[in-house]
Amino acid sequence: MAKPRVLSGIQPTGELHLGNYLGAIRNWVEIQQDYDSFLFMADLHAITVPQDPSQLAANTYQVAAMYLAAGIDLDYATIFVQSHIPAHSELAWLFSCITPLNWLQDMVQFKEKAIKQAENVGTGLLTYPVLQAADILLYEPDKVPVGEDQKQHLELTRDIAARLNYLYGQPDSPILKLPEPMIRAEGARVMSLSDGTKKMSKSDPSDLSRINLLDPPDQIQYKLKRCKTDSVRGLWFDDSERPECNNLLGLYMILSNQTKAAVAVECQEMGWGQFKPLLTDTVIAALKPIQDRYHEIVGEPGYLDSVLKQGREKAEAIAIPTLNKVKAALGYSVRA
């Protein structure tokens, strides 16, 4: 029997950080043996905010190398570049014609990013989730493993699929399958080191707010030394009153592979002076194998090109028939 399928992606906009790792990539690695995985770099999404053209392709390769370095295994997973597969853009256009404008105007990420860009808000920022729906539905995945911040986009994806099925399909034979979000409780929302109420993000202007996966040990140590804490004695999990403490204990718990109860007992009497070096050592030790493997991968000439070429072929073999199915339902004559 065929394995169920998962699909997910990351935008190649700046260095990947612990949030991307714990909210997404680490989970992909953990489940990969049980699923047929399609993982991509969302380079079309990247340009919804200005990108340096001389860096875009390099950043895209960097993310691919990071997937592999973190443990994605090509025996189970297909890695590809969104822009290599024109079906993504084409399906996004078809979807945009059935998506009510107010569905997009209600998206939290649009509102947040539109405020940052002030007057010159690009159309792409608004239609971003339509492209995301196309990314997902082209592959008809069973599950989409992401961090908490993507929940609303996945709900919209399901709404678009349901609307297409309603408008153009038959009740007993839907055109597209509705995927389920897969959001783990642990690591789904890693918070900023400068403010425990804001999520860790690539777009935060301060690099001190995040730990990048390629940060060298001295940088990790410096960032954790400087990160925001509080002046309460003893450490415990408390999302509402002690967001920074909650976040840092959570990172320690996941990266040291311990249970919440074990960490709660271990840290209850600690002050920050004792806990911060412990967390620093844990983060450095968790990232070291990923960093070593990353440098090996990017040092191997031609390797990533061959991975992405193979990925494109495997992804297209699924994407094109789905696109044709939708086009046929809308009344287009589809080339054989």
Residues found near ligand TYM in the complex (CB under 6 A): 8-11, 19-20, 22-24, 42, 45, 132, 135-136, 144, 146-147, 149-150, 153, 188-190, 199-200
* Residues acting as catalytic residues: 113, 199, 202
- Least distance CB 230 / ligand TYM (angstroms): 20
Instruction: Closer to ligand TYM by CB, 50 or 277: give it.
Output: 50
- Least distance CB 35 / ligand TYM (angstroms): 14
- C-alpha span between 307 and 75 (Å, rounded): 12
Q: Give the three-class secondary structure for 154.
A: helix
**Helix, strand, coil: what percent of the chain each, to 5?**
55, 10, 35
- Least distance CB 19 / ligand TYM (angstroms): 3
- Least distance CB 101 / ligand TYM (angstroms): 19
Residues in the chain: 336
Instruction: Closer to ligand TYM by CB, 22 or 94: give it.
Output: 22
Instruction: Closer to ligand TYM by CB, 48 or 282: give it.
Output: 48
- C-alpha span between 14 and 201 (Å, rounded): 10
DSSP string, 92-142: HHHHHTTS-HHHHHT-HHHHHHHHHHTT---HHHHHHHHHHHHHHHTT--S
Instruction: Closer to ligand TYM by CB, 170 or 257: give it.
Output: 257
- C-alpha span between 292 and 288 (Å, rounded): 6
